[in-house]
Amino acid sequence: MGWKSVKEYYQIKHIVQVVDGNILIGSEYVPNIIKITKDADVEWGPIGDLKEHSIGQLYTHLTSNKTKLKELIDTKDEFVDSKIIYSFNLNGVYDTLTEKVGFPNVTNDGELQYGDMFFDNPQDAKKCLKSSLNDMAYYNEREINRIEHELISKKLELTRFNNLLSGLND
> Model pTM?
0.79
Kindly report whether the peptide bond that precedes residue 122 is cis, defined as omega within 30 degrees of 0: no
pLDDT, averaged per 10 consecutive residues of the chain (170 residues), comes to 95 96 94 96 89 86 96 95 96 97 94 93 97 97 98 97 89
Helix (H) or strand (E) holding 136: helix 122-168
Grouping H, G, I as helix, E, B as strand and the rest as coil, residue 17 is: strand
> Would you state the pLDDT for residue 47?
83
According to the model, what pLDDT value does residue 113 have?
A: 96
Q: Which pLDDT score, from 0 to 100, does residue 119 have?
A: 96
Output the pLDDT for position 5: 97
Q: What pLDDT is recorded for position 155? A: 97
Where is 93: in which H helix or E strand? strand 92-98
Question: How is the chain split into domains, by residue range?
Answer: 3-73, 81-170
| Residue 61 to residue 69: CA distance in whole angstroms | 10
Q: What is the pLDDT of residue 54?
A: 81
**Euclidean distance between CA atoms 56 and 63, whole angstroms:** 11
85 close to 101: Cβ distance less than 8 angstroms: yes
Predicted pLDDT at 170: 67
